[in-house]
C-alpha cells in the first residue's frame, strides 16, 4: 500500500529490506519508499559501502547522503568535483544523474540515503540533537521521517506510536489535517520533511 495512504508508523531497523544497488556494485537496506512501487516519488535507504565503487545513476532524482558510521567517504564526481564526508555525520546533496564514485577513507561506511524525484516532491533533511521534547508539526499533505541515529525516544502524544531505538525510523503522514507530534528522548536524529512540489515549507 502506498505510504501516503498509510497511517503514521514506526519501522524497526530489523525490518529494513536488504537489496543490491541498481548497478549491482553494493548493498543497501531500504527503509521505505512512497509509493510502494519501482517508480517511487521518494525513498529512504542505508547504503553499506564496503569497497570503492561507482554509484548508481538516478536521472531526475535529487539525493542527499549522510555519513552514519565509519571513518569517512570520498565522493569523486565525473565532472571533477571531490567532496569528503567526514565523521561524525557530514552530508551532501547532489543530483542523481551526476556520475560519482565512492572511495573509502579508512574502512567500510554506512550512509543514509534520501532520494526524491524533483518534479514531484520537495525534500529537506536536518541533523538534530534530541535533548528532551521535540515538537514536529506536519502540514496537510506532507510526510515527515525521523531516523534515530543514536539514543532512544518515544512519542509523548496521542499518536499511539511505539518507541524508537537507535536505527529505527518513524514515518509521520499528514492527510488533510495538520498533525502535531511530540518526540521525547535523548540522542541524535535525522529529520526529513517531504511535500508535493509547490507546497511551502
Would you give the distance in Å from CA 68 to the centre of its chain?
A: 11
Domain boundaries, position 136: 121-196
User: What is the reported pLDDT for 181?
Assistant: 95
Q: Decide if 4 is inside a domain.
A: no
Residues 42 and 139 in one domain: no
Query: Are both 86 and 36 inside the same structural domain?
Result: yes
The per-residue pLDDT for 6 is: 47
- The model scores a pTM over 0.85: yes
**Mean pLDDT, rounded, for 108-132:** 97
Whether residue 147 is contained in a domain is answered as yes
Distance CA 97, CA 107 (A): 27
Whether 20 is covered by a domain: the verdict is yes
Residue 65 lies in a domain: yes
At 1, the pLDDT band (50, 70, 90 cuts) reads very low
Residue that finishes a domain, picked among 89, 117, 145: 117
User: Is 28 within the bounds of a domain?
Assistant: yes
Single out the residue in 62, 91, 117 at which a domain terminates.
Answer: 117
Per-residue pLDDT band for 62 (boundaries 50, 70, 90) equals very high
Number of domains in the chain: 2
Q: Is 166 exposed, middle or buried (0-12, 13-18, 19+ CB in 10 A)?
A: middle
Same domain, 126 and 55: no
Higher pLDDT, 6 or 178: 178
Give the pLDDT of residue 166. Answer: 98
CATH number of the domain residue 98 falls in: 2.60.120.10
What is the rounded CA–CA span in Å between residue 117 and residue 65?
A: 15
CB-CB contact of 175 with 138 (8 Å): no
Amino acid at each position: 500500500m502506498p505510504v501516503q495512504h498509510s497511517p503514521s508508523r514506526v519501522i524497526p531497523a530489523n525490518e529494513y529490506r536488504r537489496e543490491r544497488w541498481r548497478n549491482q556494485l553494493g548493498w543497501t537496506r531500504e527503509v521505505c519508499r512512497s509509493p510502494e512501487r519501482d517508480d517511487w516519488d521518494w525513498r529512504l535507504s542505508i547504503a553499506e559501502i564496503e569497497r570503492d565503487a561507482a554509484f548508481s545513476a538516478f536521472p531526475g532524482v535529487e539525493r542527499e547522503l549522510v555519513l552514519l558510521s565509519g571513518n569517512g567517504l570520498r565522493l569523486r564526481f565525473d565532472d571533477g568535483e571531490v567532496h569528503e564526508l567526514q565523521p561524525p555525520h557530514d552530508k551532501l546533496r547532489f543530483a542523481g544523474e551526476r556520475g560519482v564514485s565512492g572511495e573509502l577513507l579508512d574502512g567500510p561506511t554506512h550512509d543514509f540515503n534520501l532520494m526524491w524525484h524533483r518534479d514531484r516532491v520537495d525534500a529537506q533533511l536536518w541533523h538534530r540533537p534530541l535533548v528532551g521534547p521535540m515538537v514536529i508539526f506536519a502540514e496537510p499533505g506532507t510526510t515527515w521521517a525521523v531516523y534515530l541515529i543514536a539514543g532512544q525516544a518515544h512519542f509523548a502524544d496521542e499518536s499511539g506510536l511505539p518507541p524508537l531505538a537507535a536505527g529505527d525510523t518513524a514515518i509521520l503522514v499528514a492527510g488533510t489535517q495538520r498533525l502535531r507530534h511530540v518526540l521525547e528522548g535523548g540522542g541524535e536524529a535525522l529529520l526529513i520533511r517531504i511535500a508535493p512540489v509547490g507546497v511551502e515549507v
